[in-house]
Amino acid sequence: MAPRDARRTTIIDVARKAGVAISSASAALNGRPGVSDATRERILGIAGDLGYVPSLRGRSLSSNRAFQVGLVVQRDLDILEADPFFGAFMGGVVGEIEPRGYALVLQMSTTPEETERHFRSMAANLRVDGVFIDDIRHGDPRIGLMQELRLPAVAVNADPDFPLPAVRQDASRAIGALTRHLIGLGHTRIAHVSGPGGYIHSTQRMIAWQRALEEAGLPRGPLYEGDFGYRSGEAAADALMGSPDAPTAVVCANDLMATGFVRECQDIGLRVPLDVSVTGFDGIALGTYIRPRLTTASTDPRLLGSTAARMLLDLIEMGGVEDRSIAPARPVIRESTAAPAR
């Protein structure tokens, strides 16, 4: 292994070895015009022989780019630690951007004001070339902020009329299918544990549950607003199952809340699925560890991340990109749902 203080091969070394000007070596190494194909091939070969690796700082100075993209995650830290969605999403992002010479700048926040400060800092310090917008809210202030800062941005799971480029994985079909699955088992009183009302994806899932009931001619069951966390699933179980007209089935907006709901039901002496059937959404591994295993919808956050990253780099490098969609979430039927016992 080379010593830590070994001098790094620079573009000056490549140019000197090739007998060309530094500007010609830079054009060849960065794929710009200005040199013949034969000269370009010769310079690239010499660079390979010398072990030349372009520095991020040099690339940034020569191209006026940071070669970094930003993500600000605004979630309660306890929920974030328990939810594997973001880890898989970031894995998809990094797997896409690293081969193209970019890095991910990740910031955490707990309030909209803190989120805005992070984005403004990224833009003011020229730290990133573009950003991801996730957990989109109704009337999301980040739309105007991105336009003000002139930051290229790609949104994740936005509404169809969202004004920024977006990648989507449809959740409504899977939530509707899970609700119809419960109806087919004979349930007529089906509750919903939603995410926070301000989130677009919370609303989309709630509407899908409601429409499936309406299409079957059933009244809307109880609605409990959670926060996507395990504890709010427990609280939902206490609130819904302690009432005289408790539901016989519950559609939860994500697997963490569904898992909390199942465990709390078991703690208070209810049998899942005999006393109450429970479904989740996301398809995280945790749903297969509990007993009974969780009926849910399988999503692909890694593919969502890699698609969003590909879109953002195309937007940065080419100035425009079309919206994209990946395959919709898919229902996965397991043991946490059955015909009602009463």
The domains of the chain are located at: 11-54, 68-169+301-326, 172-299
Domain 68-169+301-326 CATH class label: alpha beta
Cross-sheet strand order for the sheet of 130-133? 103-109, 68-74, 130-133, 153-156, 166-169, 324-326
Q: What is the pLDDT of residue 61?
A: 46
Q: Using an 8 Å Cβ cutoff, are 172 and 205 in contact?
A: yes
Residues lower than pLDDT 50 in the chain: 1-6, 60-62
Spell out the long-range contacts of 146-151 with Cβ–Cβ below 8 A and sequence spacing 24 or more.
146/119, 149/119, 149/120, 149/123, 150/123, 151/119, 151/122, 151/123
| Residue 342 pLDDT | 64
CATH T-level topology, domain 172-299: Rossmann fold (3.40.50)
Q: Is the dihedral of CA 83, 156, 142, 232 positive or negative?
A: negative
Report the pLDDT value the prediction gives residue 4, as an integer from 0 to 100: 38
pLDDT of residue 48: 85
Give the model's pLDDT for residue 5. Answer: 40
pLDDT value at residue 55: 58
**Superfamily for domain range 11-54:** lambda repressor-like DNA-binding domains (1.10.260.40)
Identical fold between 68-169+301-326 and 172-299: yes
Q: Please tell me whether residue 341 adopts helix, strand or coil conformation.
A: coil
Between strands 296-298 and 330-332, the pairing is antiparallel
